[in-house]
Structure 1
Amino acid sequence: MGVLFINKTILKNGLQIVLGAFIYAVAINDFLIPHQIWEGGVTGLTTIGYYALSIPPAVTNFVLNGILMLIGFRFLDKKTIWYSLWAVVWISAFLRLPPLLNYHTTQTIIPAIAGGVLMGISMWIIFRGEGTIAGSTILAKIMNRYFGMKNGSAMLMFDLCVAIPSAFIIGFQNMILTVIELYVSAVVLNGLLSRFGARKAVTIISSRTDEITSELSQLLQQGITLISAKGYYHQEKRPMIYAICTDKQVAQIVPLVSSIDPDAFVIVDNVHSVKGEALEKIL
């Protein structure tokens, strides 16, 4: 059973990474390269190689990412690096495909934003598959692991180191578009990562704790926590009910509590509920 679970996990992660790699390549081939919008990090360097030396992006991407993954072997989990290698292989393969959308426009802000959104989505999918796209994401993962910096923010920092000097090659306007694309990508990635495992935390203060807890237990079919509390003004001890649930469950909980105790005090907060070992996925 354990081996079967591991195989299913590997298969699921592998397929997610392939999907993410495909979306990543579409962003590059259909939105960025045709409109001379660069990327940061390794992808930006592959674009330099393409425009300045006519080196195929797939070749440069594979070589430079290979070097960075050797660094990753030293500082990151080996599993992450193997998944990243899988991502690099598929990104390199998909980059060889001709443009699928053949989208062209003189309104270059559109491909900059669209490319940034697709890049952010693709990296999120790959991160969910426990991999990276190598390049600056390897460095970002290292910054995240050892310094607590958010993945998207760390990536943006490293990518700008390549993107800003590119103004001397692609011009100031395209450099600005590149910075916009990188910023959009980082915002999308951080936003999606922060929503991983998002849940609602419900805190209930009532004089009819036992009745409410009993009903909630039947409704939620999950653990409920009772927290010992003491009111300052009346010095009255009373347990608070604390539960983690989904948006749909909150819609059921509130009327249920009100029907038992109309004077109950209910607090609903947004939280990120995730096992400790997966905490880095939301950062």
Structure 2
Amino acid sequence: MMSLRLPSRQELAYSVWWNLFLLTAGSALFAAGAQGIAVHHGFLTGGVYGTALLLWYGTGGFSPAAWYLLLNVPLFVLGWFCVGRRFFLYSLFGMLATTLFGEVLRFDFGITDQFYAAVACGVVCGAGGGMMLRSLGSGGGLDVVAVLLNRKWNIGIGRFGFVFNCVLFTASLATMQIDLVIASLIQVFIASVTLEHVLSLFNQRKVVFIISDRSRAISSEITSALKQGATVLQGRGGYSGDNREIVMTVTNNVQLKRLEELVFTLDAHALFIVENTFTVLGANFARRKVY
């Protein structure tokens, strides 16, 4: 009887169906926040969708989703020649899904307070955007241009988004009330924080440095008892000048306490240093996202 083998984390991350699921669910969540909250309060969401909302508020013509689609056309034409095909096709799917959900989702969350609406919209839109960026693509819009500029001229992706939103919100002052602009800024800030949390979900790691006279024994126990890798670095005491071996390992929040117990059981006088890290690529960890 054949046993069913579950895919590894790396295999799942590169699975077509998993990426389509992330893009579909993320685009639905983003569109729900934009159409169910932002539209009813006159907010801007930032990015290309925020530009679409600003055009819709000013003209009353096409729907925000239709403006979003039209604004993305030249961006994707440019992206076809400049970004990887896999990133392009996944992002095209994400953009079309966002457009479709933006057209069909026409409900109201029923939030009346402007501040509460800005917070809720930021959380929902940020969670949706984060889910899309956890895939091998994106929701289109600024992400395609940002990747292009980063590859061609080494312009930071986050920096480009910040500059674009500054221009967008400055332009919105000509047609929008200052209260709405400020509420929109609050929404965009909360969305960016939520997006970062979604991106770091299950990816947060701890880099641990252990300085001890029993570094070899500690390194051996880490690999045998905790089943995780360890690297022994060569160091030298700043005061004594004595050579020291420093154990470096990467772990998660679940294993951290076990690691701490292991180290101080072997050496009660060890120096145990923990640093947070956002991204760990290679080996048994995540694979590099190729655009």
TM range (shorter): 0.7 to 0.9
Q: Following the alignment from structure 1 to structure 2, what is the Cα–Cα distance between the partners of residues 222 and 79? A: 32
- Alpha-carbon distance change, 274 to 7 in structure 1, aligned in 2, over 3 angstroms: closer
Aligned with 2:110: secondary structure?
coil
Q: Following the alignment from structure 1 to structure 2, what is the Cα–Cα distance between the partners of residues 187 and 28? A: 17
Q: Following the alignment from structure 1 to structure 2, what is the Cα–Cα distance between the partners of residues 243 and 170? A: 52
Does residue 1:73 correspond to 2:87, yes or no?
A: no
Does residue 1:218 correspond to 2:224, yes or no?
A: yes
Match of 1:63 in 2: 70
- Alpha-carbon distance change, 189 to 140 in structure 1, aligned in 2, over 3 angstroms: farther
In the alignment, structure 2 segments of 5+ residues that lack a partner are 1-10
Aligned with 1:222: secondary structure?
coil
Q: Following the alignment from structure 1 to structure 2, what is the Cα–Cα distance between the partners of residues 110 and 140? A: 31
TM-score, normalised on structure 2? 0.84
- Alpha-carbon distance change, 274 to 211 in structure 1, aligned in 2, over 3 angstroms: closer
Match of 2:100 in 1: 93
CA shift for structure 1 position 31: 0.8
Q: Following the alignment from structure 1 to structure 2, what is the Cα–Cα distance between the partners of residues 22 and 262? A: 52
Q: Following the alignment from structure 2 to structure 1, what is the Cα–Cα distance between the partners of residues 176 and 29? A: 25
The amino acid that maps onto 1:142 is L
User: Match for 2:241 among 235, 242, 254?
Assistant: 235
Match of 1:170 in 2: 176
TM-score, normalised on structure 1? 0.86
Does residue 1:16 correspond to 2:26, yes or no?
A: no
Does residue 1:40 correspond to 2:46, yes or no?
A: yes
CA shift for structure 1 position 260: 1.5
Give yes or no for contact 1:35–1:104 (8 Å, CA) kept in 2. Answer: no
Point out the more displaced range, 65-74 or 78-87.
65-74
Q: May I ask how many residue pairs the two structures share in their alignment?
A: 277
Aligned with 2:119: secondary structure?
helix
Q: Following the alignment from structure 1 to structure 2, what is the Cα–Cα distance between the partners of residues 39 and 199? A: 31
Q: Following the alignment from structure 1 to structure 2, what is the Cα–Cα distance between the partners of residues 193 and 72? A: 23
The amino acid that maps onto 2:163 is M
CA shift for structure 1 position 156: 3.1
- Alpha-carbon distance change, 42 to 207 in structure 1, aligned in 2, over 3 angstroms: closer
Which one has the bigger helix percentage?
A: 1
CA shift for structure 1 position 98: 3.8
User: Match for 2:273 among 251, 267, 275?
Assistant: 267
Aligned with 2:240: secondary structure?
coil
Q: Following the alignment from structure 2 to structure 1, what is the Cα–Cα distance between the partners of residues 13 and 212? A: 47
User: Match for 1:207 among 202, 209, 213?
Assistant: 213
Q: Following the alignment from structure 2 to structure 1, what is the Cα–Cα distance between the partners of residues 289 and 55? A: 37
Deviations 1:92-145 (A, max 9, x none): 11112243454140x212212221222222111111112222222223333444
CA shift for structure 1 position 90: 0.8
Q: Following the alignment from structure 1 to structure 2, what is the Cα–Cα distance between the partners of residues 237 and 166? A: 61
- Alpha-carbon distance change, 43 to 184 in structure 1, aligned in 2, over 3 angstroms: same
Q: Following the alignment from structure 2 to structure 1, what is the Cα–Cα distance between the partners of residues 154 and 81? A: 16
CA shift for structure 1 position 210: 2.8
Q: Following the alignment from structure 2 to structure 1, what is the Cα–Cα distance between the partners of residues 203 and 274? A: 16
User: Match for 1:111 among 109, 117, 131?
Assistant: 117
Q: Following the alignment from structure 2 to structure 1, what is the Cα–Cα distance between the partners of residues 96 and 32? A: 15
Q: Following the alignment from structure 2 to structure 1, what is the Cα–Cα distance between the partners of residues 110 and 144? A: 31
Deviations 1:50-73 (A, max 9, x none): 332331223222121121111222
